[in-house]
Structure 1
């Protein structure tokens, strides 16, 4: 037998290997072939493993930075419903608090005449359902609006009292602020985020500063900020002083400060979406680390959700992000406060119906697009006439009763437009059945109605139509009364600025 085929025969070359046939042409055992390739392969695997572990750790760390607070109990269950076309839109409330406690906040002292923590910056951000545009609405901190007494989540709106906007946060925290916002606007808030002085400064520093532009010199004795007219790049401490400066610039009002804040946020957006941040992982991580360290959010506003929204904003583009201020006027009882003008509802309507301010809603599913689950004969309705045309509510009552609805009564209401269908918690499906009888109706939750569904007909309201699951087959009475068209009026304009706008332009 050949020595190479005999396992017991030593290698004739004297290597001692019982399997010399397995050596390569250079006489090396198979396990030692190209050791440098093995080392590289092991190194690559190690790098990939470490990189994966690093990403996992970074994600965990950033998530761990964020303080999560569930305020749903403070908001209550009596919340607005969404229009069908707005179900995928996102409304985010951003709150800048004047918290002067904790690391990085104590150097700003105490406000003797109005102690406590206030929401001095209030931004309601709406991201459209198709993620092609966004609007950021600034709510003046000195706004006087109706608010729940003592921030009670169960207080019906008829008992709400006038209160300064930033005192809602002082009295009842984020939950009270959201309840007040939703109650006054009908806009459902999906998420919230609160940042304090320290977090603001850290984010600016993580961007290596933010550029601002001032047309007049600033010499603020309180913050010690001194700027000459022109463009300046500010660090975190200077930037905080800039967005908080009020009395030493312009007319000293909060409204003037809001304009500077919007220009500043435009500059931040331009910096944060620039390639030098997005494509430098170390800088991006530093910014996110700074942003999350002083952030308080709802439990559902996770890092993953933030990432998705950030990607949406980057896709939208700065030209399609608009900053606006809630239209306001002097509050008669106190010239140092403001109240919202009726034009403010143009903003809230655009958020509720998911269309740009002043634009018409896009074609979408009606409230009856999905199958109705409650029969008309299981629903009790009240019909109110807010159109000013005699007999309109009675005519609607007859058409509803012909389809099986129980109508408890009719009456008059304050002048309004369109058709409003109101209902209490638990009656959503009954309200959908009622809304199906009124083309173009909008749905809204209201406390205290029990199982009753209330319909208010205003100028421009459509007459009753058949619902798909009606009871009986008798034809509906032919309507003889039509609601008047809404009175023509000059459409108010709401000034704004695009996020891409030159920061030196004030409007």
Structure 2
């Protein structure tokens, strides 16, 4: 049997010892040549696993990228969008500014639950901003602080009786010259546009985004979570919703979860306020479930939940998946003990005992949100101490008091305050159109209302009372309205005042508060759902 020639010998025989191995320079040179070619990339046959691993990693990255893009397109395409910007009329001025450390502004999101999407029209026409035939039983205001260390969720009772624009399609109609109607009628009449327009007019809070969740898709969201735990103080067997649960904790699927959050009969006093308590406990349970489960660590489970959520969602055109991801990331970093659920303070509506109206304590909540401050009596984490820039100087006042006409209203409950304020303005060169005593409940602080073209004039008036709040009002013309409420500060001389006569000595002082500080009851997302 003949031996193989050198040209056909297997690779592993190149370095095998053979006859003359110790002194055969040609074989040593060949081995050295192979070793060098391995080091310098001349051949990769000695480490084919490296090449296969590199190809595999590249393949995984390509597949991940394609799947990521496909998921983004899929989820973003699920969302229905409404452009309601043209139906909101004159909007509030944002009071709070960006946080120095996060460089983020506070964010207010209006979340509405809808019975149906039927009648939604995303094109042009009279129903462009509405959801004809739909009802909204759930209304939540979600406020994320600028430092992203806390969140407030306020529930508005559907049975609230408030002022609202007479016709939301008429841009000249506003809350100020509107009618009184039940809160959830705003959604039925004009969808999210009418609801937000009414809310902004009542509170002065600017809404950055809105989300409408279809109740039919709500069930899929809960099922994608794998169910949610709820708690009942008593057993419930409701014929209308077919909900049949014992007292205490129960694990429910989507169908029973929907029945639970909408339940009004056969439990408690049957009021909408009782239902809000259950809804807030349910949301706490959802947050606890998402926090403790592997939802964020299971791509399949996470995609299923996001797919169900976005499929049930209608939003404004500015809220896309990317921004939702950022918002979700911010919420995830907030401790569950810093997510607070608040039920709006209400009292019985005098004209109908089956309805409610907001109490003055509600203004405390709205003020905290406008100014991005903690709710009275609550504690928030202290921010780390970091150097901050010096406060910037306020812009110079550009309108002379001589060119400004002011109407002063006393809303403090203390007689004589409007007359005193009128004198403080008049001595500095302002023209006083009138001063009178308000007839409504006392309000807090100083509020300066102005017409669409009078912002700079309003700044001059507001400068007289440090900390005054400014609100634009489409119904006002060239006259500025000044409301003096409880806690109004003392007047100061402004830089562009006229004359040199000193301010009159104040003989009337507004009370520091409208009484004792209202107690704002809140439950945190960390709280036991049975409490």
After TM superposition, the score normalised by the length of structure 1 is 0.85
Over the aligned positions, Cα root-mean-square deviation in angstroms equals: 3.1
User: For residue 260 of structure 2, what is the aligned residue in structure 1?
Assistant: 242
Q: Which moved more, 1:389-398 or 1:297-306?
A: 389-398
Tell me if the contact between 2:422 and 2:432 (Cα under 8 Å) persists in the aligned partners: no
User: For residue 490 of structure 1, what is the aligned residue in structure 2?
Assistant: 516
* Structure 2 residue matching 1:205: 3-state secondary structure: helix
Aligned pairs for 1:102-121 within 5 A: 116-121=133-138
Residues in 2 aligned to 1:281 and 1:243: alpha-carbon distance in whole angstroms: 28
Tell me if the contact between 1:383 and 1:396 (Cα under 8 Å) persists in the aligned partners: no
Aligned pairs for 1:418-433 within 5 A: 418-433=445-460
User: For residue 112 of structure 1, what is the aligned residue in structure 2?
Assistant: none
Displacement of 1:451 in angstroms is: 3.6
Displacement of 1:292 in angstroms is: 0.5
Displacement of 1:202 in angstroms is: 1.1
Q: Are positions 1:64 and 2:77 aligned together?
A: yes
Tell me if the contact between 1:381 and 1:452 (Cα under 8 Å) persists in the aligned partners: yes
Residues in 2 aligned to 1:289 and 1:262: alpha-carbon distance in whole angstroms: 24
Q: Which moved more, 1:127-136 or 1:214-223?
A: 127-136
Aligned pairs for 1:166-245 within 5 A: 166-245=184-263
Larger Cα-atom Rg: 2
Aligned pairs for 1:85-124 within 5 A: 85=97, 88-99=105-116, 101=118, 116-124=133-141
* Structure 2 residue matching 1:382: 3-state secondary structure: strand
User: For residue 36 of structure 1, what is the aligned residue in structure 2?
Assistant: 49
Tell me if the contact between 2:174 and 2:201 (Cα under 8 Å) persists in the aligned partners: no
User: For residue 384 of structure 1, what is the aligned residue in structure 2?
Assistant: 408
Residues in 1 aligned to 2:35 and 2:98: alpha-carbon distance in whole angstroms: 72
Residues in 2 aligned to 1:55 and 1:262: alpha-carbon distance in whole angstroms: 33
Residues in 2 aligned to 1:165 and 1:205: alpha-carbon distance in whole angstroms: 31
Residues in 2 aligned to 1:448 and 1:296: alpha-carbon distance in whole angstroms: 31
Q: Are positions 1:393 and 2:421 aligned together?
A: yes
1:98-121: CA deviations, max 9, x gaps? 11759xxxxxxxxxxxx9311110
* Structure 2 residue matching 1:30: 3-state secondary structure: coil
After TM superposition, the score normalised by the length of structure 2 is 0.81
1:313-359: CA deviations, max 9, x gaps? 12221101111111112222222221112221121111112112225
1:468-492: CA deviations, max 9, x gaps? 5x266x5451331254131662333
User: For residue 259 of structure 1, what is the aligned residue in structure 2?
Assistant: 277
User: For residue 92 of structure 2, what is the aligned residue in structure 1?
Assistant: 80
* Structure 1 residue matching 2:229: 3-state secondary structure: strand
Q: Which moved more, 1:210-219 or 1:331-340?
A: 331-340
Residues in 1 aligned to 2:145 and 2:503: alpha-carbon distance in whole angstroms: 40
1:187-238: CA deviations, max 9, x gaps? 1111110011222111101110000011201101012110011211111111
Cα gap change, 1:483 to 1:119, in 2 (>3 Å): farther
Match 1:46 to one of 59, 62, 69:
59
Cα gap change, 1:48 to 1:175, in 2 (>3 Å): same
Displacement of 1:305 in angstroms is: 1.7
Residues in 2 aligned to 1:201 and 1:369: alpha-carbon distance in whole angstroms: 53
Match 1:409 to one of 411, 414, 433:
433
Tell me if the contact between 1:136 and 1:323 (Cα under 8 Å) persists in the aligned partners: yes
Q: Are positions 1:144 and 2:168 aligned together?
A: no
Cα gap change, 1:86 to 1:185, in 2 (>3 Å): farther
* Structure 1 residue matching 2:363: 3-state secondary structure: helix
1:284-324: CA deviations, max 9, x gaps? 22211111011000111121221222122122211011111
Aligned residues between the structures? 471
Displacement of 1:385 in angstroms is: 4.2
Cα gap change, 1:358 to 1:124, in 2 (>3 Å): same
Q: Which moved more, 1:307-316 or 1:32-41?
A: 32-41
Match 1:346 to one of 352, 357, 364:
364
Match 1:320 to one of 330, 334, 338:
338
Match 1:478 to one of 482, 494, 503:
503
Residues in 2 aligned to 1:23 and 1:46: alpha-carbon distance in whole angstroms: 34
In structure 2, list runs of 5 or more residues that go unmatched.
10-29, 100-104, 120-131, 381-387
Displacement of 1:448 in angstroms is: 2.1
Displacement of 1:458 in angstroms is: 3.3
Cα gap change, 1:456 to 1:43, in 2 (>3 Å): same
Displacement of 1:498 in angstroms is: 0.8
